[in-house]
Amino acid sequence: MSETAPNQSRSESGARGLLVPSLLALAVFALLVSLGVWQLHRLAWKEDLIAKIDARAHGPAVAIPPQSAWASLRPDDYEYRHVSVSGRFEHDKEALVFRASGPGDGLSKPGYLVMTPLQLDDGSHVLIGRGFVPEESRDPAMRAAGQIEGEVTVTGLMRAPEPRNTFTPADTPAKNQWFTRDPLAIAAHFGLERSAPFSIDADATLLPGGLPRGGVTVVTIPNDHLSYALTWFGLAATLVVIFGLVVIRRTRRP
């Protein structure tokens, strides 16, 4: 009896000493589980978005939104929408956006995405990503056959402005050297009025001379939410195991 009482007293003391750590562990556990659940909700949202984008990109070409709607457009509402638009190219205002590599088929080397303003019948403009040209074809004179004149109809995918990061070099418009697909910045440089905040990547229509090479859009929608959710749930499970071992050790300490 005299030996049992001290052991019981130490056990009760150890249990009382776990109150605060238990509350903290419970709070962290709840946070980790809630983050995992949030990522599952994000997963459902992203899968729905991917399905919508897939339907947009592979559906029949539709007319672009009217100019009156341009200011209120959100990228999630139009990114990769398959559209058709008619107008006249202004080749003298061509912008070259650097790309480290082309689409393959002999063009897996540095070059440029050719972006050319298309003037619509009402005088507004839409930047068209006509396709890729290698470095040696940077000069339009080297691909004169592809500089189509007159009224044209372009089908392609609507694209949101390309984001910058801390590693993106600064554009040098004076040298026609751009590093992001930014339609409004390009339009401002060339003094284009009423220019769309989006651009259009042209489909893979073979042009005279073969350049620019269209149809180079890569549809990439990152979807890592399931792995993130499993990570949070895994951390929560690890916390339970570790804390359980701590409890056992503290309550059984002689």
Q: What is the pLDDT of residues 25-56, one digit of tens each?
A: 899 999 999 999 999 999 998 888 888 888 88
Residues with Cβ within 8 Å of 198's Cβ and at least 6 positions away in sequence, in order, are: 70, 73, 75, 78, 126, 158, 159, 160, 161, 183
Closest CA to 124 of 162, 157, 90: 90
The pair of structure tokens assigned to 160 is 């949101």
Q: Is residue 240 domain-resident? A: no
Q: What is the pLDDT of residue 178?
A: 95
| Residue that wins the pLDDT comparison between 251 and 61 | 61
Contact 169, 97 (CB under 8 A): no
Q: What is the pLDDT of residue 97?
A: 96
Indicate whether 101 pLDDT > 80: yes
Closest CA to 125 of 221, 193, 204: 193
Residue type for 209, please? G
Instruction: Give the CATH number, domain containing residue 95.
Output: 2.40.50
Mean per-residue pLDDT for 141-150? Answer: 92
The H or E element that residue 119 is part of is strand 111-119
Residue type for 84, please? S
Place of tokens 């592979």: 58
The whole domain housing 102 covers 81-210
Number of other CB atoms surrounding residue 212 within 10 Å: 25
Residue type for 200, please? I
Closest CA to 114 of 84, 83, 152, 148: 148
How far is it, in rounded angstroms, from Cα 59 to Cα 82? 6
pTM for this one?
A: 0.73
Residues with Cβ within 8 Å of 83's Cβ and at least 6 positions away in sequence, in order, are: 61, 62, 63, 64, 155, 156, 157, 158, 200
Summary mean pLDDT of the chain: 88
Among the residue ranges 116-130, 188-202, 233-247, the one predicted with the least confidence is: 233-247
The CA distances from residue 16 to 11, 19, 58, 117, 174, in Å, are: 9, 6, 64, 74, 73
Q: What is the pLDDT of residue 7?
A: 55
Hey, what's the torsion of the CAs at 127, 121, 80, 65, to 10 degrees? Answer: 130
Number of domains in the chain: 1
How far is it, in rounded angstroms, from Cα 251 to Cα 211? 76
Give the confidence band of 12 by pLDDT, cuts at 50, 70, 90.
Answer: low
Contact 168, 179 (CB under 8 A): yes
Closest CA to 111 of 119, 124, 121, 101: 101
First and final CA of the chain: distance in angstroms? Answer: 16
Q: What is the pLDDT of residue 197?
A: 96
Indicate whether 57 pLDDT > 90: no
Q: Is residue 64 domain-resident? A: no
Q: What is the pLDDT of residue 254?
A: 59
Place of tokens 């993106």: 168
How far is it, in rounded angstroms, from Cα 85 to Cα 87? 7
Q: What is the pLDDT of residue 86?
A: 97
How far is it, in rounded angstroms, from Cα 133 to Cα 214? 9
